[in-house]
Structure 1
Amino acid sequence: MSEITDLHVDHLVTGMRRWASGHQAEAAVELLVGHRGWLHRPDFVVTALRVVDDGPGADASDDHLVAVDWERAARYAGRIRTDGADVAVLRVALGLAGQPVAPPLGELIGRLDQAGTTLVLHAIAHAAGWHERGTVALVTGGFRVLSPV
């Protein structure tokens, strides 16, 4: 089995996607993948990610499954003393993965930049299963009730 530090970011991404199971976990993983910043931080990678041999995405290929230890990632996030957009993306991902997050979601969203907001919107839509229903919404056009497609 490889060490997590031996894997290139592209292999981390592939392994995380193969490991994630369920809309919320997939959404949280895709949020981290889309952001990319956290996967380039060795301290985060060593703390929150691990190579596993088994799980829902395991097969006989040479590709590794890379599990996210959401509890360790949450403890890592709790030690961060800045409140920027990058940290907000990480904390939203933790919330999607079922971890309690602070500050509240409304405060986190207020810290996002345009790229982070776009990633979070896509992640929330995935967590809600919109990708399976073909649901599309214009999110900048004001509030309105969506009718079924």
Structure 2
Amino acid sequence: MLMKFLTFCMEHEKHPGEYKAYEEITFSEYLKTQKLTPNLQHFVLYSIAMTPKSTSSTLDGLKAIKNFLHCLGRYGNTPFLFPLYGQGELPQCFCRMCAVFGGIYCLRHSVQCLVVDKESRKNHLPAFFRSHDIKKILSLT
């Protein structure tokens, strides 16, 4: 039953009739209707969906499970990053991921300005005496 449920969660947008009647109840109540044992319900709720029991809706829970399952296999057997040699590994993982996808990762530099061309609908980030065309920007400052 668990694999059938997880497979459904991956494609829940394609089958809205399966959960439409349960949108008004909490995700924990929805899990009770899916013929999962209480132990599996607890596991799905807290280990996979990681949603608060009393407040999350059915749709939020299904989205959380889908997100969890999409993250499996990115950095290993789990969607979590476990630093082995200190917290410095966390920014290193994001730096490597940025490089893999062709991003620019700048340390100790803040964004001075972002130029948006209204006609071409392109974004330019002036940095290091050059302008870089960008699709997305993430800045902590």
Per the TM superposition, whether the score is higher than 0.5 is: no
Higher strand share: 2
Query: What is the TM-score of this pair, normalised by structure 2?
Result: 0.26
Higher helix share: 1
Decide which structure has the larger Cα Rg and report it: 2
Query: What is the TM-score of this pair, normalised by structure 1?
Result: 0.25
